[in-house]
Chains A and B, each alone.
Chain A
């Protein structure tokens, strides 16, 4: 094995050391696995909700975003949005929605690989998962802003509703509607997944750092 690769994937665990301290080496692997599972499970839970309230909709209108889908009262909300000249919501983030599941599987695989990398470079493989929740919000904000600011000037209500930036989280309003937006279960699962990976790296470092150090001090043993 080349020295570069050895440095990259870090030291292997000697058999007698593994037998003696199994928990120490298994812990980061288990935590990474939990993080991977949570991220996959989050696909099936909503990432974001918006509720719209107006006098003539006594039971409200709802929007629910999954990583790959936008559901509930999309049709009715699109119908209303056409009065202010907003494009149908289905046209927003279409690439992201189509790619999201593949992207997430790729991220999961990267974390899986990270479990076998015993050097500090493993962190790089996990960066996408840790950053994913932030990326989701930034993307959501981008599209909301893009749609809100690019209203068709020929729409029937263009004189009363000017371009605006919809509220991505918390309370907002447009026309006679009050909007309440919040993050969903799926989003929080992704956050926990990221947090678990950070925790996992604490145990990762605690397990492999001594091995790496001893390998540097005693290169023959490592080889």
Chain B
């Protein structure tokens, strides 16, 4: 070899070395990817039906009496096993006091979330005595362990759902529940100290600064008393602005306030957005201030409250109200800040304008430009313009003042349009193509109609016109389109929350389920066909909201072992592995327990009659869906201990005996063996050593 050749071969040696290293690194990086991809997940291939398959399908359809439309509906809604829905519907659970989460388009119930009603599967309110859930459900010291949930409200950022929190109102008891959508659990319940019941909850302002709770049946604010004769003088309505602290995930009651209203019965509310940001709107009925009394020959409420042709749309400048509150101009009623009507009138917080009598929903269009009031007893929807409202306020274009001194904006000055839709219009939602959708209760139909203004150019139809009606079964209340009450609706699916199902399902005794009907609204110009009927056999839901599933960032398991869902942090009291056992301090006993497939530690808990027991239990699991339950028969205890969750409960061991406790969630092959014994020794029992040596004597002595 010449010297030159040697130098070359040396360089070659170094180059080969580098090459080999790089190839191996790259090759192995790719190799790792294939390991992780060994799973199924083959992409769906486009299908093509062979004539034989078409024949089979046709035969099947005919045997089951399915039309071509039925087959198409099935194809639009059927979810193969393992496929996830595009949207999640958060629905009020009505009198069940819960929320239901339902997948769309499959309409499969995913789960319920307990809010106002203790529920045992979730272990909600079943942690022995003084359960914190039961404690916070008390009103004026009385257990009120149910709720009439009406309107869920997803938290919003810039007027769009952000998937972080969910609020819901309890109409029966004027309460608000706050749910954290990381773990889908109720974190807080606030009780309105002013009013017994409400209706217009919950609606959020565009950045969830406030959660709006509109009232309904007027009372003497703060649980006062007055006879019907004093109705005008003493009864009042209200709307409450609950301040939401997003960082804490809680409503801050000290920064919340209410606005006193005349004793018209306030109804639904909606917050302004974009063009109307800073305002919110509330409907009312019974501006007649009828006091009923059918039993004494007076007109019943249903007639008395329907005498006048118009009621009042309430227009609230909440930014002004917030300023007035912060300036200390609110007064306290039952410990809660209230801006009184004289202050509201003087500061320009509150305006009225006439609306066709006894309307139902008031819904703000996605651009915030228009407020749509559905007539209920009037076949029209009446549309108001925020620009016109602002101008009328600036020009003081009043048609008068009501009995309480609140200025009434001239109807013609603020009205944009009236659109005749049919009988019983109740609620309105929107799509992304310039259409609005209104439920028609009496017609039992969904109406699609066009918006005007800047929406006019979004479709070929004439503005402010009815274009289509689809019958629904039956008696539709609320309706909900995909993100249909946000600044950017998806125009994708629509749910008709039909109140009566009559003949849609098998008869389930005299109490029938509600009917959630899925309508396909994607194609303008079509009939908006009903493509699925989903029976809801738990409570009577009212409103629901539909959020794109990928906006929800739920936890698979709690972030760390020992997590306390009430504080959303690691709990210092959570037992550690190896430190399980029973700690006694007089008759105060603490049980430190861990749970892991498939055993509790300790498995024997020895107590004495009369012990005050604090039982701490933590799931040492970090695997998705490895949930345990824990129950003690006879002591009203059932917990759901989800992976990583820490929970504690208290009780007095006042009934001696030997109690098996066990895991109530089928966790593993050895689930039945996941049990133990709680031994509560009677006070008069002989000493342990004596009973061990002379069992016969003990028995005969009794």
- What is A's interface to B at a CB cutoff of 8 Å? 20-21, 23-24, 26-27, 30-31, 34, 38, 49, 51, 53, 58-60, 75-76, 79, 83, 156-157, 180, 182, 184-185, 188-189, 192, 195-196, 199, 202-203
Task: Please name the residue on chain B nearest to A203 by beta carbon.
Answer: B13
Q: How far is the CA of A188 from the CA of B35 in the complex (A)?
A: 16
Checking A27, A75, A156 against B10 with a beta-carbon cut-off of 8 angstroms, the contacting residue is A27
* A184 contacts B32, C-beta separation under 8 Å: yes
* B669 contacts A31, C-beta separation under 8 Å: no
Tell yes or no: B39 within 8 A of A by CB: yes
- Of listed B6, B10, B14, B31, residue having the most chain A CB within 10 A: B10
* B13 contacts A27, C-beta separation under 8 Å: yes
**Given A23-B10, A83-B669, 16 new contacts (CB under 8 A):** A27-B10, A34-B18, A34-B21, A49-B35, A76-B623, A83-B598, A156-B673, A182-B31, A185-B24, A185-B25, A185-B32, A189-B24, A192-B20, A199-B16, A199-B17, A202-B13
* A180 contacts B35, C-beta separation under 8 Å: yes
Considering the complex of A and B, which 7 residue pairs feature the smallest CB-CB distances, nearest first? Answer: A27-B10, A185-B28, A23-B10, A23-B7, A188-B24, A76-B623, A188-B28
Tell yes or no: B702 within 8 A of A by CB: no
* B7 contacts A31, C-beta separation under 8 Å: no
Instruction: Give chain B nearest CB distance to A19 CB in angstroms.
Output: 12
Instruction: Give chain B nearest CB distance to A116 CB in angstroms.
Output: 19
* B14 contacts A30, C-beta separation under 8 Å: yes
Mark each residue of chain B from 1 to 35: 1 if its CB lies under 8 Å from any CB of chain A, else 0. 00100110011011011101100110011011001
Q: How far is the CA of A49 from the CA of B11 in the complex (A)?
A: 36
* A to B CB contacts below 8 Å, 16 in the list: A27-B13, A34-B21, A49-B32, A49-B35, A60-B36, A79-B621, A79-B623, A83-B669, A156-B598, A185-B25, A185-B28, A189-B24, A195-B20, A196-B20, A202-B13, A203-B13
Chain A residues with Cβ below 8 Å from B597 are: 79
Instruction: Knowing A23-B7, A30-B14, A195-B20, say if A76 contacts B35 (CB, 8 Å).
Output: no
* B670 contacts A23, C-beta separation under 8 Å: no
Chain B residues with Cβ below 8 Å from A182 are: 31, 35
Checking B36, B596, B669 against A79 with a beta-carbon cut-off of 8 angstroms, the contacting residue is B596
Chain A residues with Cβ below 8 Å from B623 are: 76, 79
Chain B residues with Cβ below 8 Å from A184 are: 28, 32
Checking B18, B38, B596 against A180 with a beta-carbon cut-off of 8 angstroms, the contacting residue is B38
Instruction: Knowing A51-B38, A185-B32, say if A24 contacts B24 (CB, 8 Å).
Output: no
Instruction: Knowing A76-B623, A185-B28, say if A192 contacts B35 (CB, 8 Å).
Output: no
* B28 contacts A31, C-beta separation under 8 Å: no
* B24 contacts A192, C-beta separation under 8 Å: yes
Q: How far is the CA of A76 from the CA of B623 in the complex (A)?
A: 7
Q: How far is the CA of A191 from the CA of B605 in the complex (A)?
A: 56
Chain A residues with Cβ below 8 Å from B39 are: 58-60
* A34 contacts B17, C-beta separation under 8 Å: yes
Instruction: Give chain B nearest CB distance to A70 CB in angstroms.
Output: 16
Instruction: Knowing A34-B21, A156-B673, A184-B28, say if A24 contacts B6 (CB, 8 Å).
Output: yes
Tell yes or no: B622 within 8 A of A by CB: yes
Q: How far is the CA of A164 from the CA of B39 in the complex (A)?
A: 26
Instruction: Knowing A21-B3, A60-B39, say if A38 contacts B21 (CB, 8 Å).
Output: yes
Mark each residue of chain B from 594 to 612: 1 if its CB lies under 8 Å from any CB of chain A, else 0. 0011100000000000000
* A203 contacts B17, C-beta separation under 8 Å: no
Instruction: Give chain A nearest CB distance to B672 CB in angstroms.
Output: 11
Chain B residues with Cβ below 8 Å from A180 are: 35, 38
Q: How far is the CA of A192 from the CA of B22 in the complex (A)?
A: 10
Instruction: Give chain B nearest CB distance to A182 CB in angstroms.
Output: 7
Q: How far is the CA of A21 from the CA of B8 in the complex (A)?
A: 12
* A31 contacts B14, C-beta separation under 8 Å: yes
Chain B residues with Cβ below 8 Å from A34 are: 14, 17-18, 21
Chain A residues with Cβ below 8 Å from B38 are: 51, 53, 60, 180
Chain A residues with Cβ below 8 Å from B3 are: 20-21
* B21 contacts A192, C-beta separation under 8 Å: yes
Chain A residues with Cβ below 8 Å from B17 are: 31, 34, 196, 199
Q: How far is the CA of A58 from the CA of B41 in the complex (A)?
A: 10
Instruction: Give chain A nearest CB distance to B512 CB in angstroms.
Output: 38
Task: Please name the residue on chain A nearest to B621 by beta carbon.
Answer: A79
Chain B residues with Cβ below 8 Å from A75 are: 622
Chain A residues with Cβ below 8 Å from B32 are: 49, 184-185
Chain B residues with Cβ below 8 Å from A31 are: 13-14, 17
Q: How far is the CA of A198 from the CA of B380 in the complex (A)?
A: 90
Checking B14, B35, B670 against A51 with a beta-carbon cut-off of 8 angstroms, the contacting residue is B35
Q: How far is the CA of A68 from the CA of B35 in the complex (A)?
A: 22
Instruction: Give chain B nearest CB distance to A190 CB in angstroms.
Output: 11
Instruction: Give chain B nearest CB distance to A207 CB in angstroms.
Output: 9
Q: How far is the CA of A145 from the CA of B21 in the complex (A)?
A: 32
* A24 contacts B20, C-beta separation under 8 Å: no
Mark each residue of chain B from 498 to 541: 1 if its CB lies under 8 Å from any CB of chain A, else 0. 00000000000000000000000000000000000000000000
* B35 contacts A27, C-beta separation under 8 Å: no
